[in-house]
Chain A
């Protein structure tokens, strides 16, 4: 068994792991990035590609804005634009209650200095003649953007590699433990790596790594279904999202319309599959036809999904371990990791190199799962309930419609969730 020395071992070659490795290497750290498959294959490569700023979790704005600045500079950073496109993001409301929700989102965005345009029916008709009049109000954030997820992670990993990061694909971590002042990480092919720091960015598989250090988070896998149409005349310029979550779409300048919609669907991280049921495709199509009637003749040609890790409060774990010094977690991005990916990587590199980061990350501590965690209202809305729900399984109680915006669930309930794989 060869023992290799590194400053940092990063487990998981998704977007987060690749950016973390990149920024660490820029600071002169020797990094080994270990990926069980190939870089950027799961949700990092299969997500919708939104770089949305408006409507985020309020505590995330400092991180999010820092990250957007990195996206805006992506070509300088990694030498590849990855189809980055400052399309702007249009958040649409179908009724007065949703309009209020948008206004509340906008107030938060504006308090962090974002420019938000508030649009009424007349503005919408003039600016977006393709939009159904069902949309009664919208907010538009011009700084929001999109990029091609299929291209980004491999490009970041290439840039990291060029800076000296050792990248191991098709290499599974079997054990990781504290060893003196550092870590020993062992892989299925019999290698072993010693490092001072360890980064757990293993996505839907990150719970397994965390448990090697005696901590856990109620992480569960799901697949956000995505759909794409044939190329069509380019006429939908902004990225568009209905605030009720029924439809999210954008058109790339090439002409294809990319479409997503909740609820998210079950995924199988053991067989590595996240199939898209045809009934989801039909539902997404129906919602899109209602919002952009001119698309009714456009054809859907392809669907896909990828496995992503979710947490019940719908915010990620980012930051130092609560049990083990030198270990850092970044997982459970709950469907909004793409935009903050570069920022997370930068912050982790700062915490490792400087012992601190200027960006507040307290809300994302893994320690929050030691107590009770508020279940986000999105959490009840945005996921399919497995058949167990109808049979009175653990999902049934969570699925019950509750007027309360959030309920508390004890973390002791975690093992009853559909779990990400653990050994």
Chain B
């Protein structure tokens, strides 16, 4: 197998939650360019359609499914729609995530619940649905998008940190459980990436602090997360499971 061909995703079906913007759309674009059929599962219909049209323009079969991942009853039907429209799922990216920077002592429990439901519970439920489908074909890739706060303490978004830390442990446990079925489960930890989620920080002193602490001295781009996702989704990573790839310009090791 020639090296670039081993990264080819032609014929594969991928679903990306929160895939209509930011890191999720960067990954969806990368998958489309690598030849995969791509489903975007996200809330905002206008952004969904724009993202879908962009993927189609890249030459991919693409689908946008309107989904609020906290609506548990909607998760299985959404996955069923992806499989009906595009085919059995080969690649799931749990990327949808929210943060509620309200502080541990002040925040409402409803904030905590919302964050854990979106970032962790939905990822688990979708991964389980995908795995059940993948087991039948003895092949599959699940990629969970963690965060620097999977590792580090966050002064205002404790629920975000807790959910993202747990997502890494979920990654490891599902990797161990599903290895016998030739399903690989891995995580990507993006550092500070240009997106709607990080845009507000640019006006704060914290932005300079991040730049100083990041050896690469810049934010990453959603496209730079795509390379790692394509690698993990491809046959080039068939012996990689339970691992976490850091796409962070060195932030976490300084």
- Asked whether A and B interact, the reply is no
